[in-house]
Amino acid sequence: MILVPNHLQRLSGNKYLIVFCILIFLSACSKKVIPTKPAEKPAPVEIVVPKLEEPVKKNIDHSIVLLLPFQLNTLNLKTSRKSDLSKADLAIDFYQGFKLGLDSLSTGGHNFNLQVFDSQNQETRIVNLAMSGSIISQDLIIGPVFPDDIKTFSEFSDLGKTLQVSPLAASMPSEFNDSELVSINNSIDQHGMKIAGFISSQYKPEQVQLILINTQKTEDSRFSNYIKSYLNELSGSKFPIIERPNTLGIEDYLSPTKINLVIITSSDRSFLLPAIDKLYRLKSQKYPIEVFGHPNWIKSRYLNPEKMQALNTRISASYFVNYKAQNVKNFIARYRDEYGLEPSEFSFKGFDTAYYFGSLLEKYDKEYADFLIKEIYTGLHNDFHFVKDPKYGYRNTALMILRYQNFELQPVR
């Protein structure tokens, strides 16, 4: 267990030093007092948070637990290689971003008691943590991050009014069956709804030919079914859908006069590359084609930006960082100064999670859960706009549509 001070000493450019630091801290179970005033640092990251009606409560210590898979139990200080240490990348990056989020709040005089536990990605460890009084008695619990660990923790813990936040898992909340779980990352049904909503609002049924490419693999079919279901629901079944398993012979289903909306629900590289190539060739033959794709395409660096832009490709996304925005530049500068490293996707997510929930704790204290669905947050990587399902907990509904512009993905305004 680590009680983390407001600022760690700057790392000398090697992220894996923090692994050894955390290992030492955990083995020693050392305690440190959080200073009320942070050391002098560069200007805090500017984040736009809506003003609240309630007065801000200051000088109250709020306790937060962070459960991350550092997997330090698998490391040996003398024999571990870089490949072994890389297992902790996700946990390290999220932790460092999370800590900067709390630091940004603490510059206003707020106090946080952050306890960090290694979940180890082991079931017995998760069960022990879930039943530990030092954890379930805290104000807020962030983690675990993997779906199986979340299920186990929810099953064996009794948190009362304390919220458990799932910061990274994109699983369906129904898998956890926890009415108090807060899911930040969007699940595939929400992506299906986003695509369906965009099509039904931006196109007229009589002007488009809609072709759905579904490979019939389990995950592809699931995404396809959500798109079809929501599109029929939102449009009153006004969009006829032609469903095909691949692009073989797809030209027989294309219209030379209507806009051909081709939705590809696969993210498999070996399937995707020839499919995109064929659609690109057909587009050059004067078929009006526009493509909608899988959210995982945002990480598919092998996709040719020129072809994707020519096909007016769009995807739904729960993660996008505008590196030209001033608050993003501020965050990157602070992250570099603090750790001597570049922030990753998980660093941005850690910051937003800490800043949003830390703000709720400071403004509403023990009643912060009552305001979760009322506070909309504009973050570095995505917005937070939660709705409450009485059976499956809180879900973030904020999603974006990205399209290729200037040969890179940008939000559709």
- Domains along the sequence of the chain with CATH: 2-186+323-399 (3.40.50.2300), 188-317 (3.40.50.2300)
Q: Are 384 and 376 in contact (CB under 8 A)?
A: yes
How would you write 50-63 as a 3-class SS string? CCCCCCCCCCCEEE
In the prediction, which pLDDT does 218 show? 94
Two structure tokens written together for 219: 């995950």
Cβ atoms within 10 Å, residue 238: 12
In the prediction, which pLDDT does 80 show? 62
pTM of the model as a whole: 0.86
Burial profile 117-156: b = 16 or more Cβ within 10 angstroms, e = fewer: bbbbbbeebbeebbeeeebbebbbbbbbbbbebbbbbbee
In the prediction, which pLDDT does 49 show? 38
Q: How far is Cα 226 from Cα 191, in angstroms, rounded to an integer?
A: 8
Q: Are 149 and 175 in contact (CB under 8 A)?
A: no
The full length of the chain comes to: 413
Two structure tokens written together for 30: 């050392």
In the prediction, which pLDDT does 29 show? 35
Strand, helix or coil for residue 361: helix
Residues whose CB is less than 8 angstroms from the CB of residue 147 and which lie 6 or more positions away in sequence, other chains included: 169, 171, 175, 176
Nearest to 255 by CA among 291, 210, 293, 292: 210
Q: How do the residues of the chain divide into helix, strand and coil, expressed in percent and rounded to 5?
A: 40, 20, 40
In the prediction, which pLDDT does 21 show? 57
Strand, helix or coil for residue 243: strand
Q: Are 263 and 210 in contact (CB under 8 A)?
A: yes
In the prediction, which pLDDT does 161 show? 79
In the prediction, which pLDDT does 159 show? 86
Nearest to 276 by CA among 309, 234, 245, 299: 309
Tell me which residues of the chain have a pLDDT lower than 70: 1-60, 76-85
Q: Is the peptide bond before 245 cis (omega within 30 degrees of 0)?
A: no
Two structure tokens written together for 284: 């050059």
In the prediction, which pLDDT does 256 show? 94
Q: How far is Cα 111 from Cα 102, in angstroms, rounded to an integer?
A: 9
Q: Are 45 and 327 in contact (CB under 8 A)?
A: yes
Q: Which long-range contacts (CB under 8 A, 24 or more apart) does 122-127 make?
A: 122/73, 123/148, 123/149, 123/152, 125/73, 126/152, 126/153, 126/156, 127/152, 127/156
Nearest to 71 by CA among 89, 88, 54: 88
